[in-house]
Amino acid sequence: MSEPLTNYETGASSRLLARGCSRAALATSLNGAPYASLVLFAVDVDASPLLLLSDLAQHSRNIAFDPRVSLLLDATEGHADPLTGPRLTLLGRAQQIGDARGLKRFVSHHPSSVTYAGFRDFHLYRVAVQRAHIVAGFGRIDWINGADFLFSYDAKGLAAAESEIIKHMNADHSDAIAHYACGLLGRSGTGWRMTGIDPEGIDLRCAGETARLQFSAPVLTPEAARVALVKLVGTGSQ
């Protein structure tokens, strides 16, 4: 029998699931009644959920009344029986924030949102995760404290440089990005672009398809990111 996962390992596996999701079911309170809606989803470098919501949407009005929310992230695609696949529920409080870096990160992950991200009625929200509930498969179910779900090491330097790293990689190293997507992850297609980098990996996109490539060890600075990205170029296909 395998050993049970530690809180750190469960948190890391939960972050991996969250970082690979681009949409979520958002549950809010409509005068005390549960109200669920579909939203675009991204996470910050520490894995805090980011949502770009319109003031006109019912879920935004619900949050203004009661900031407690729940997010269901579904990673069961490809499973013959979806109930045997992984999914993650995040519970916390949503707060509207004025964070230009966070907004840029969200738009990079969701290029279609650039058309309305600057509208006066759209605002970025960050969810302060208090608890998480992961179902990793049949019989593999755990509750996780918010502190164990979030990436806890200081990666402010990487976060500040993310936009420039993405710009540089897409402009000057499209061949490396193609290697990441096609050579390492086995994806097809041309025109892959990097949409994000965080301490645990990079995010890629080609039209509507997304992909996630994990680092072998956490990366906290732009210098460490460069070393990790160069190392990946020299890695063979899976």
Instruction: Give the position of tokens 């509207």.
Output: 96
Q: Please state which CATH class domain 7-149 belongs to.
A: mainly beta
User: What residue spans in the chain does CATH classification 2.30.110.10 cover?
Assistant: 7-149
Q: How do residues 119-136 score in pLDDT, each as one tens digit? A: 999 999 999 999 999 998
Phi, psi of 158 (to 5 degrees): -65, -40
User: What residue spans in the chain does CATH classification 3.20.180.10 cover?
Assistant: 156-233
Structural contact between residues 62 and 29, judged by C-beta atoms closer than 8 angstroms: yes
Pick the CATH number of 156-233 from 3.30.930.10, 3.40.50.970, 3.40.50.720, 3.20.180.10: 3.20.180.10
Q: Are strands 49-54 and 68-74 parallel, antiparallel or unpaired?
A: unpaired
Q: Which residue has the higher pLDDT, 106 or 140?
A: 106
* pLDDT at position 236 over 80: no
Q: Which class for 180: exposed (0-12), middle (13-18), buried (19 or more C-beta within 10 A)?
A: buried
Structural contact between residues 131 and 91, judged by C-beta atoms closer than 8 angstroms: yes
Flag whether the pTM goes above 0.85.
yes
